[in-house]
Structure 1
Amino acid sequence: MSDAPQLDLATVFDAMPTSYAVLDPDLRFVAVNHAFLENSGRTRRELIGRPILEVFPDNPADPGTRATANLEASLHRVLRTGRPDTMPLQKYDVAGPDGVFRARWWSPVNAPVLDEDGRVVLLLHRAEEVTDYVTERLRQRPGSAVDLYDALRDVPAERHQAEADLYVRGQELRSALTTETAEAQRLAGMVRVALRLSGAQSVAELTDIVIGSGLGVLGAGGGAVAVRASADGGPDELQLTLTDSLGERARRTFARIPLDSPLPVAVAAATGEVVVLRDREAALASTEQMEEAVTSTGLGTWVSLPLQVAGRSLGGLTIGWREPQDFTGRDFELMSAFAAQCAQSLAAIQAREQERRVAGEQRRLSEALQRSLLTAPFEPDHLQIAVRYLPAAAGAQIGGDWYDCFLAPTGVTTLVVGDVAGHDRDAAAAMGQVRNLLRGVCMTLEEPPAAVLGGLDRAMRHLGVGVIATAVLAQVEQTAAERAAGLRTLRWSNAGHPPPVLVAADGTARLLHTRPDLLLGLLPEAERADHATTLHPGATVVLYTDGLVERRDAPLQDGMEWLRATLEQLHHLPVEELCDALLARLDGPLGDDVALLVLRAHPEDGPRPAEAGPQVLPPTAPGAAPPLGGR
């Protein structure tokens, strides 16, 4: 046995520079290290044995951050799964000894401690404070702290972690170098570069920062960023961006090189090893291809470092100097930290680009599915129908909104607007199922709207369409007596959907408020009610989804009142123009899709108005009744 002293794990735990706490399965403190006590401003006596959520409650002045709820959810995920859980950046304010809460930002990680049987017996909670990082981002970003928090909250957790890690790495460099003036200046410059790298939005921007600023901080005469890529389905290659100082000849010669090239940057990218060529002689002796690099650039000393994240090779970074260099251990620490920063930024950029590609493809597929179902409406005699579908501004926010209009076998004009819960292609696909089911149920039952929605709910349960949806189903009916009087009846049932709007011929608009029935997909046996109102000549009915009236910072009731008042202002417009004018008045980017269906009952004491266009009826099955209800 070695004579080395026994390892005191408690001492090691207490000496760790990052805040750590150990919790039991009831989320009570079991142990904390010195860094945790310093960061939290608490003593061990104030912590040990007490629940973490009790000791660190939400800031009552800022309840919207849900800090304790987010932390509790993460800790319970670890308890349930037995796997570590990395949380997104969290705004978790901590009260000082004076009881005043101060804004604090953290990058938390929670991990399980398992017994021999694989059961979670303890939880390890790491709380890396990144308040300085967020403060710097706020300084660089115009707007308020609320705007910054909203922007950070909508970004994927992986990107938060990458950017925070970049900043933390930059801060760690402070302890890697001495306080000597030259090194302090290099450190300050490298931290500035690290912050710029964290905000890079493209590979081109990243390489501009690296070769335009980072290499200068290192005192280099030039260099290149090599990004790994596939060459049109062939073997991997490296795409290099070189500094201007290396000259046009070098940029042409080394724009692309195979990954298996003997050049140092390719070796570093392929093997994960740092390649050091300390002088011109060493460079020329390394491989024949280095003669061209040395001759065309005038650089004799080279260091090539891998760009890696989590063991995955992203490429390489090569740095050159004109004169021989006597590298110290700190020089290599600085270059390695710089390469790590480049790799983290490159990984974040590539992840964002992949997210955009996937989101764009999902968007195209979902929109194609939606638009294939949202067809042009038919035009029964003296009834005019106009429809619109407006996608949300956010690329990932594809929803299950739909409209539909068709003739029931009885000839009744049937109108539907609905919204399947969710914002992805699964929601769009489920929307197609629900829409087609509703058509089939309506055609089979030949019943009023409430009965049709009840039949749809039962069909969804039996066929395993496991979604939740809202909808308004309306039917336009007309008896012989109503025809003689020029009147019609609008009968509808509402399954948890925003109420329709009825606009009279004189422009008076009112919301058809009723007590909405239960959403579809929850309880198929729930009772549903029909409601009816008279449609006078010139009346307009507006059905819509909540994207038209929902606003992030306003109650839904305000949005519906805005719609009612706006329709009063626009009532004189032809139906198609009314739809366009209404959508044009939406303020700011949409947070959700909008489906809109507008029906106008023109007077029947004359020909169909020219503004309504020609009559267009769907094909009538042989033996079906004539479309009385649609007139």
Structure 2
Amino acid sequence: MSAAEPNPIGTVPVDFQLLFTALPTAFLVMDPDLVIVEANPAYLELVGRRRDEIVGRPVFEAFPPAPDALDESGRNPIEISFERARDTGVVDPMPIAKYDVLDPVTGKLGERYWSLISAPVLDAAGRTVLVLQRTEDVSAYVRERSGQQVEPMHGMNGHRDVEAVEADLYARVQELRIAQEARDTAARRLSSLAEVAIQLTTAETVEDLERVVVSRGLAVLGADGGGIISPDDHGGWRATLSDALGEDVQLAYGNVPYDSPLPAPWVARTGQEKLLPTRESGLAFDRESMAGVYADIGRYGWAFLPLSVNDMCVGSLAVAWAEEHPFGADELELMRVFAAQCAQVLVRIRATAAQRAAAVTAQKMSETLQRSLLTQPPTPESLQIAVRYQPASQGAHVGGDWYDAFRTVSGATMLVVGDVTGHDRTAAATMGQLRNLLRGLAYDSDDSPAELLSRLDAAMDGLQVGTLATAVLGRVELHGAAGHRTWRLRWGNAGHLPPLLRRPDGTVEVLAGRPELLLGLDARASRSEHVVDLVAGDTVLFYSDGLVERRKADLDQGIDRLADALSRAGALDPEELCDRLLAEVGMDINDDDIALLVLRPGEEPT
């Protein structure tokens, strides 16, 4: 405290140290850590202590609270008042407080009642540098009003003391009324904020969050404008500002560099709250940038709060008032709660977006891998073959379904549709193993389909391919003497759905046989072979269960529905037939991927 400073009005210097010492009202001065740095004589006389006994000591070490001075949660209300004034920069009046003080004569605690006001001392930047307590002993007044036996106040002086205390208490009541009204307003806003919080939970994009904040959240806070700041796609910051600030302001401040000196980006970078309640405090923060803000936006009270979750700051919330705006403790708490809600929603949105982007990338890679394994079929003379693969409409979008068609060394055409258990990338990878194993076993072999399925089962067991799979494997080749040859289909079925055969007249036969085990259950299981002769115009359909299986529907009903569709559309070209069956039978939302293979023999090749 300066000993003397010139009086700007007159020529008589003011000695503030002398003024502080002469004040008849008791004052205690503390630093921001609540360590006593000064007390005037009125205060020392009031508490019966010497200056050297208390200066330099934490205030509650010098004046420890009695147990009955603490609130229900064990906190000291006077300490809370000091902290509130320090942290908000706003004067904090208290209700009358009972706080017993040690009597230096008796050495015992004496019952005392106090009228207290905590006030911050701010520097030019608006930071609290000292905490001041104005102290008034109202013990005699409280005892008189409560009817306690005390030494009476005699004569005019006694009446004047009571009148002075009552006048002071009246002023205090008015201050407390104003403070209570502010708390009531904060309570109403907190209730409205709960409704906004519900809206925030529905936000799925950053744009949704911004819309809720600027259209509802800022109004609930009682602000005259503001916005929300988050990272943009170019390493800087994007700001969505309320309509009340105007389109020109949005254009000017909607995108700013990462290292911008403006307070909103500064808070987003540092994670530190910045309160600029006055124009002076704003100019002290950064004169050039804030002078532009005041000129462009016309708002002179600002609060900037970090959007932080687990020590990670992802943006900031800017709240503005048309006039300079000192902040109350309840108002600050409300803004901090809202900023915390916005931060959680923003982190959730960003995490969800990252997961979706990663899932889309992985999905594209998986589908590319799976489709690379599902090659186009051969085009042997007088045989038409069409294939389709359709991933599931939900879930992993890749799975273990596959089709294959290839020619062997001897000229036979092999056809297969299979399904590995699972609907993920693991199933797709295992499908690739089984497909290649079967190709290798069949390419230079004249084994029947049943024998090939047994060999595939044994290879799976020996190579420890730990999976289960179904498959229907067919072998198509010409049969009979020259000039009278026909196409013959031989097939084996390892737990798969039965093929369908449509004759040229539209009748459909289900090529069912005795159910046999899936691949991967028992490598020694016997496999049987089935044979059917085909004529030109016949249509054979191999398919996976995704085409016919539906929730809450019988599998046989699905096969019947597919057979009916095949009967009606079977005369179409095989390529068109595949598309028609997928559109008609597989039109529902399918939970499984679909593999489909259509074979149609023509006349005997010449």
Following the alignment from structure 2 to structure 1, what is the Cα–Cα distance between the partners of residues 560 and 491?
21
1:186-585 paired onto structure 2 within 5 Å: 186-229=189-232, 231=234, 236-288=235-287, 289-394=289-394, 396-481=396-481, 487-585=486-584
Identity %: 46
Once the 2 structures are TM-superposed, how far is the Cα of residue 241 of structure 1 from its aligned partner?
Answer: 1.8
8 Å contact kept, 1:250–1:293: no
8 Å contact kept, 2:370–2:398: no
Following the alignment from structure 1 to structure 2, what is the Cα–Cα distance between the partners of residues 329 and 523?
74
8 Å contact kept, 2:494–2:517: yes
Per-residue CA deviation, residues 481-504 of structure 1 (Å, 9 max, x unaligned), is 5x7655433222222222211112
Runs of 4+ more than 6 Å apart:
2-5, 177-181
Once the 2 structures are TM-superposed, how far is the Cα of residue 446 of structure 1 from its aligned partner?
Answer: 3.0
Per-residue CA deviation, residues 295-322 of structure 1 (Å, 9 max, x unaligned), is 2111111111222233332211111111
Per-residue CA deviation, residues 37-81 of structure 1 (Å, 9 max, x unaligned), is xxxxxxxxxxxxxxxxxxxxxxxxxxxxxxxxxxxxxxxxxxxxx
Following the alignment from structure 2 to structure 1, what is the Cα–Cα distance between the partners of residues 524 and 275?
75
What TM-score comes out, normalization by structure 2 length?
A: 0.65
Distance 1:425 1:328, change over 3 A: same
Distance 1:447 1:207, change over 3 A: same
Once the 2 structures are TM-superposed, how far is the Cα of residue 249 of structure 1 from its aligned partner?
Answer: 4.1
8 Å contact kept, 1:450–1:492: yes
Following the alignment from structure 2 to structure 1, what is the Cα–Cα distance between the partners of residues 181 and 494?
69
Following the alignment from structure 1 to structure 2, what is the Cα–Cα distance between the partners of residues 195 and 597?
51
8 Å contact kept, 2:236–2:258: yes
Following the alignment from structure 1 to structure 2, what is the Cα–Cα distance between the partners of residues 386 and 395?
27
Q: Which amino acid in the other structure matches residue 357 of structure 1?
A: A
Q: What is the count of residue pairs matched by the alignment? A: 431
Once the 2 structures are TM-superposed, how far is the Cα of residue 404 of structure 1 from its aligned partner?
Answer: 0.8
Following the alignment from structure 2 to structure 1, what is the Cα–Cα distance between the partners of residues 405 and 181?
75
Following the alignment from structure 1 to structure 2, what is the Cα–Cα distance between the partners of residues 309 and 267?
17
Once the 2 structures are TM-superposed, how far is the Cα of residue 183 of structure 1 from its aligned partner?
Answer: 4.8
Query: Which stretches in structure 2 are left out of the alignment for 5+ residues?
Result: 1-63, 68-72, 75-179
Q: Which amino acid in the other structure matches residue 205 of structure 1?
A: D
8 Å contact kept, 2:478–2:485: no
Once the 2 structures are TM-superposed, how far is the Cα of residue 469 of structure 1 from its aligned partner?
Answer: 2.6
Following the alignment from structure 2 to structure 1, what is the Cα–Cα distance between the partners of residues 469 and 267?
54
Per-residue CA deviation, residues 342-384 of structure 1 (Å, 9 max, x unaligned), is 1222222222222221122122212222222222222222221
Alpha-carbon RMSD: 3.0
Following the alignment from structure 1 to structure 2, what is the Cα–Cα distance between the partners of residues 516 and 563?
20
Following the alignment from structure 1 to structure 2, what is the Cα–Cα distance between the partners of residues 255 and 440?
62
8 Å contact kept, 1:245–1:297: no
Once the 2 structures are TM-superposed, how far is the Cα of residue 194 of structure 1 from its aligned partner?
Answer: 1.7
Following the alignment from structure 2 to structure 1, what is the Cα–Cα distance between the partners of residues 534 and 181?
83
Moved more, 305-314 or 514-523: 514-523
Following the alignment from structure 2 to structure 1, what is the Cα–Cα distance between the partners of residues 520 and 290?
68
Once the 2 structures are TM-superposed, how far is the Cα of residue 563 of structure 1 from its aligned partner?
Answer: 0.7
* Alignment correspondent of 2:160: none
Following the alignment from structure 2 to structure 1, what is the Cα–Cα distance between the partners of residues 557 and 352?
36
Once the 2 structures are TM-superposed, how far is the Cα of residue 190 of structure 1 from its aligned partner?
Answer: 2.0
Per-residue CA deviation, residues 249-293 of structure 1 (Å, 9 max, x unaligned), is 433343333444443323332333322112222122111322222
Following the alignment from structure 1 to structure 2, what is the Cα–Cα distance between the partners of residues 330 and 528?
79
Once the 2 structures are TM-superposed, how far is the Cα of residue 440 of structure 1 from its aligned partner?
Answer: 0.5
1:81-92 paired onto structure 2 within 5 Å: none
Following the alignment from structure 1 to structure 2, what is the Cα–Cα distance between the partners of residues 536 and 3?
104
Following the alignment from structure 2 to structure 1, what is the Cα–Cα distance between the partners of residues 281 and 211?
29
